Chains A and B, each alone.
Chain A
Amino acid sequence: EVQLVESGGGLVQPGGSLRLSCAASGFTFGTYWMSWVRQAPGKGLEWVANIRQGGSEKYYVDSVKGRFTISRDNAKNSLYLQMNSLRAEDTAVYYCASGANFDNWGQGTLVTVSS
């Protein structure tokens, strides 16, 4: 059974940093695209970033370019999102998703950016 478990969310002040992690199990992690998708409170889904199997290709939504970095450790079956220079508008539940079509999703971790 595919399992994706996010962690690392919390309350952070504007301008601060946070690192999200996603622990994967139940599938061959290193053979799948992985993504981060977020959902602001009461709002719709927004794709944030994705990373190719080996980590050679990474894509980001414009609003996080230069501030967020997606990475993965295939030996640890883990996906990461380093978030710097956080803004109030980054407040959201962050989901990790596996596969080219966001085939499976974790339960999400809440990031709140507020002073």
Chain B
Amino acid sequence: QSVLTQPPSASGTPGQRVTISCSGSSSNIGSNTVNWYQQLPGTAPKLLIYNNNQRPSGVPDRFSGSKSGTSASLAISGLQSEDEADYYCATWDDSLNGWVFGGGTKLTVL
């Protein structure tokens, strides 16, 4: 049972816009910034979004993040087949004094 709650799966067709939610509490998302990671099949995770909505260099602007209260979202616009991956949200939890991850969302491009 993950501290942060994500839907286990999401899907969309090429060109569509999809969003993935991440729900937490006042001790984690409510108090700290959220990061998102993309894990392509068989590879190591990669930082996709940091500090709620910032993109590292090299990450396409099709990927965007937002946060409101104790929830965060990752949006992917202009969906492409290469976006098929697992996506994880993460943040610091002040009560646990440690980082917490969501359970991950498997994105399928139909």
Nearest CB in chain B to that of A93: its residue: B44
Secondary structure dominating the interface of B: strand
The winner among B2, B47, B56 for most chain A CB atoms within 10 A is B47
Q: What is the number of contacts between chain A and chain B, taking CB atoms within 8 Å?
A: 50
A103 and B56 contact, CB distance less than 8 A: yes
Nearest CB in chain B to that of A99: its residue: B47
Q: Which of A90-115 contact B (CB under 8 A)?
A: 95, 101-108
List of B residues within 8 angstroms of A35 by Cβ: 99
Q: Count the A residues whose beta carbon is within 8 Å of the partner chain — how many?
A: 20
List of B residues within 8 angstroms of A107 by Cβ: 44
B88 and A44 contact, CB distance less than 8 A: yes
Alpha-carbon gap, A115 to B50, bound state (A): 40
List of A residues within 8 angstroms of B39 by Cβ: 45
Least CB distance from A101 to B in Å reads 4
Query: In this assembly, does B102 line the interface, its C-beta being within 8 Å of a C-beta of chain A?
Result: yes
List of A residues within 8 angstroms of B96 by Cβ: 62
B47 and A101 contact, CB distance less than 8 A: yes
Can you list, as one digit per residue, whether each of B40-68 has a CB less than 8 Å from chain A (1) or not (0)? 00001111001100001000000000000
Query: In this assembly, does A32 line the interface, its C-beta being within 8 Å of a C-beta of chain B?
Result: no
List of A residues within 8 angstroms of B88 by Cβ: 44-45
Query: In this assembly, does B104 line the interface, its C-beta being within 8 Å of a C-beta of chain A?
Result: yes
| Contact pick for A101, options B35, B101, B104, CB 8 Å | B35
| Smallest CB-CB A-B distances: 9 pairs | A47-B99, A44-B104, A101-B50, A105-B44, A45-B101, A44-B103, A101-B35, A103-B47, A45-B88
**15 A-B residue pairings within 8 Å (CB atoms):** A37-B45, A44-B86, A44-B101, A44-B104, A45-B37, A45-B88, A45-B90, A45-B101, A46-B101, A47-B100, A61-B98, A101-B51, A105-B44, A106-B44, A108-B44
Additional A-B contacts beyond A62-B98, A101-B35 (5; CB < 8 A): A45-B45, A47-B90, A101-B50, A102-B35, A103-B56
